[in-house]
Amino acid sequence: MATHGEQLYEGKAKILYATEDPNLVIQYFKDDATAFNAQKRGTIMDKGACNNKMSSHLFQLLEASGVPTHFVKQLSDREMLVKKLQIVPLEVTIRNITAGGMAKLLGIEEGIVLARPVFEWHYKSDALGDPLINDDHILALNLATSDELETIRQLSHRVNDMLSAYFAKRGIDLVDFKLEFGRHDGQILLGDEISPDTCRFWEQGTRRKLDKDRFRRDLGDVEAAYQEMLRRVLE
């Protein structure tokens, strides 16, 4: 059984701890919430436990359908044991419906159902606000190999197909989401978390927002939205 070792990193939403096994780390999920590149800060009560439970459940579902993830075991309410990754400094976004950054970038309204999913690479840099980049930028700067990009692209589309269907059965449209991948023993694994912090969830029919946009946009009932999503995922 893994026990807490030294703190390796404290991020905006999670803390990473070492374990006695150098191949494994613990993700500790905090209630801290940030938005707009950490210009807006707050806490969402029980968010850490909620995101840990939802992510643990979804990672197991994805593993079972052939997407390799870092997930090993949920250790407690807020702790997840994961395989240690060398994180690829890219954030993948897949969009099924326009919202957020894409609506802003292209000057279009939110809520347009896209004719096909839109795949985006963002360079993982808080200082730069995670800018949109393309394959050429990544290959020219040796951020990842072309094989890795191909693997990440295929896995991300599989995640989108799986999760879109899973949430649709629960009355939710998966609008968009962000994924992170890393290298472990020469293999690309899905890492980080999948939660209302990293996905946009709209209730089908009403388009009621059930994700971090309630915090970003001061819409109220933030905690209730996270709990409702956890309930729907586990049902």
Instruction: Point out which residues bind ligand ADP (CB under 6 A).
Output: 9, 11-14, 16, 25, 70, 82-85, 87, 180, 182, 191-192
Considering beta carbons, is residue 182 or 196 the nearer one to ligand ADP? 182
List of residues 6+ apart from 187 with CB closer than 8 A: 68
Of 3-11, 96-104, 133-141, 143-151, the segment contacting ligand UDP by CB under 6 A is 96-104
Report residue 68 as tokens.
Answer: 């390799």
Count of CB atoms within 10 A of residue 82's CB? 26
H or E element in which residue 50 lies: helix 47-64
Residue nearest to ligand UDP (CB): 100
**32 is a site residue for ligand UDP (CB under 6 A):** no
CB of 28 to ligand UDP, least distance (A): 18
Cα–Cα distance, 122 to 20 (Å, whole number): 33
Q: How many residues bind to ligand UDP according to rule CB under 6 A?
A: 14
CB of 25 to ligand UDP, least distance (A): 20
If we measure between CA atoms, which residue out of 131, 134, 94, 133 comes closest to residue 114? 94
Q: Choose, by CB under 6 A, the member of 84, 178, 209, 214 that binds ligand UDP.
A: 178
Of 43-51, 59-67, 158-166, 172-180, the segment contacting ligand UDP by CB under 6 A is 172-180
Report residue 214 as tokens.
Answer: 């309630």
**Residue 212 contacts residue 196 (beta carbons within 8 Å):** yes
Residue 62 binds which one of ligand ADP, ligand UDP, none, with CB within 5 to 8 A depending on kind? none
Q: Are strands 132-133 and 86-87 parallel, antiparallel or unpaired?
A: unpaired
Q: How far is CA 182 from the centre of its chain?
A: 13
Which residues in this chain contact ligand UDP in the complex, by CB under 6 A? 93, 99-102, 130, 176-178, 197-200, 212
